[in-house]
Structure 1
C-alpha cells in the first residue's frame, strides 16, 4: 500500500527490487513535502492548519504527517517528561494535546536530536492519528492514515471469462468483470451481482474499512469463511465497484480464462499497521462529518 507499506518499494516485504550494483541499506526512510493543506481537529477545535506539511514514509508503517510548530496553535501542546528513542531519528519528546477542555497524554511527538541527514523534520510535530478528533485535507476528512500519494487504484473493464466454483457448484460466471489494480497488491477481480449465485453467499458479522475504498462486508461460502467481500457503497473515487463481489482465490476456486488463480504476493491484505488500527468507527465518523 503506497511507498513504504505492504509491498511498496520501501517496505520490508517489497516484491520488487532496486537495480543497483551495491545493496541498499536495510531500512530507508523518505520524507517529502505533502503539498496539500492539512488540518487537525481536537477537542472540537482546529489545532493545526498548514500548507507546509512533511510526510514521512517509514518501512512497515503508514505515512505520518509532520506539522511545523508555527502552524500549530500555541496552547495546543503541553510538554511532558516522556521521551523515547527512535531507531533512525534519535531522541523523541512527547506532548499532551490540549484544546476545548480536552486533554490527551502522549498524543504528539517531536524528534529533538535529529541526525544531520534528517533535517527535513526539524522543528516539526506529528499527532497520533486516533488520538485526534479528525484530520482534514482542505474541507474533506481523511480517515485511516495520512493519504499516501504513491497509492493508486485503477479500475478496468474487461471481457475476460471469470468463473468461481465451490466444488461442483458454480458461484459466479461472468465475461464482464472489473479488474482493480491497487498499488502494492495483486489484481482483484470484481463480479456484477447479476452474475453471482447469491444463494451461495452467507453474510457474516463484522466489517472492515479501507482508507481508499470504504466499508467492506464479508461472506462465507459453504465452509469457506470470508471467501468473498463487497463494498456496498464504495467511495466516489472507486464507485464502479459498488455492490460487486470479489472472491479469495485461496478459499474458493477462481478461474480466469480457464487458468486457476492462486494467492499471489500482495494479495494477503495486512489490515492493521504496526503503529495503529484501522477501525470501522473511524469510517463511521467520516460519514457523520460528511
Structure 2
C-alpha cells in the first residue's frame, strides 16, 4: 500500500510534493510480471504471470487478473483495468507469489525496509520504571511510515516484560510478538523470525509511544517542507 498509504506519494499525508497538481483520488495500475498462484481445496486455481497490481487509496493493494484466468472463483470487474477482474482475498485458501506464501495482501514492489545501526538514543519508561536508556539502537526506515527505533534485549529490562496473546503480521517484517509491562498491555513488539529484509532486528524491541513514555531521537518528518 506504500504509494497510496500514509506518507506515500499518493497517500493522504504526502511526505513530499509534486511539481504539478495531481488529481485526487488517483488509481495507479501496473503490470506485475511475477508468478502469482492461488490454491483452493488443495488445487491450484490461478497460475499466471499476467496479473496487474492496483494501487487505490483507502484499500489494500490488490491483484487484477485477465478475464478467463480465475477458474470458477467469485470475481468483480476492475473498473480501472478493462478486461481484468479482482478475486476476493478470502475466496481461496492460499496465495503465493514466486513461491512465497502471502498474508492479507500482495507485497508492494515500492515498499522498502532499511535497518541501520545508529547512535540515536531511546529512553522508555512505564509507570515510573525505566525500561530502556541507550544509544545503541537500530533505526528502521520503512516506506510511507515514520522511522522507528529498535533495541536489542540486552538493553531492555526484559524481566519486567511478559508476552501477550496479541499478534500481527507484516508482509515486510513477518509475525510480531507483543509485550506488556505491569498493567499496560502491548507496550512493545518484536519479531522472533523476521523476513530476510529485516533480519537485523531479529528479537529486537520497539515501543508504542501511545502506551508508554518514549523519548526517541528520530528525524523530523517535516524537515525540508
| Bin for the TM-score computed over the shorter chain | 0.7 to 0.9
In 2, Cα distance between equivalents of 1:223 and 1:15: 36
Structural mapping, 1:104-115, within 5 Å: 107-111=74-78, 114=79
Q: TM-score, normalised by structure 2?
A: 0.87
The question of whether the paired residues in 2 share the 8 Å contact of 1:42 and 1:134 is answered with yes
Q: Which residue of 2 aligns with 1:279?
A: none
The aligned residue for residue 177 of structure 2 is: 217
Equivalent residue in structure 1 for 2:23, among 25, 30, 33: 25
**Could you say what secondary structure the match of 1:16 adopts?**
coil
The alpha carbon displacement at 1:54 in A equals: 0.9
Structure whose alpha-carbon radius of gyration is higher: 1
Could you tell me the TM-score, scaled by structure 1's length? 0.69
Contact 1:4 1:62 in 2 (8 A): no
What's the secondary structure of 1:144's corresponding residue? coil
Q: Are 2:4 and 1:37 aligned?
A: no
CA distance in 2, matches of 1:64, 1:140: 16
Question: How many residues end up aligned between the 2 structures?
Answer: 222
Distance of 1:225 and 1:141 partners within structure 2: 30
More helix per residue: 1
Q: Which runs of 4+ in 1 moved over 6 A?
A: none
User: Which among 59, 62, 65 is matched to residue 60 of structure 2?
Assistant: 62
Between the aligned partners of 2:47 and 2:97, the Cα distance in structure 1 is 10
Compute the displacement of 1:202 (Å).
2.8
Per-residue displacement from partner, 1:39-69 (whole Å, max 9, x unpaired)?
1222221122211211111101111111113
Shift of 1:15: 3.1
Cα RMSD, aligned residues only: 2.4
**Correspondence list, 1:230-269, <5 A:** 230-256=190-216
d(CA) in 2 for partners of 1:180, 1:163 = 17
SS at match of 1:66: strand
1:65 and 1:21, CA in 2 relative to 1: closer, same or farther beyond 3 A?
closer
Mapped to 1, the partners of 2:41 and 2:76 lie a distance apart of 18
Q: Is the 8 A contact 2:114 2:140 kept in 1?
A: yes
Correspondence 1:195 to 2:162? no
Segments of structure 2 that go 5 or more residues without pairing to the other structure are none
CA distance in 2, matches of 1:220, 1:247: 10
Partner residue, 1:184 = 144
Alignment partner of 1:123 is 2:83: yes
Task: Give the direction of change, closer, same or farther, for the CA distance of 1:213–1:21 in structure 2 (3 Å limit).
Answer: closer
C-alpha displacement at 1:156, in angstroms? 0.2
* C-alpha distance in 1 between matches for 2:16 and 2:137: 31
**Structure 1: 5+ residue stretches without partners:** 78-96, 98-106, 266-290
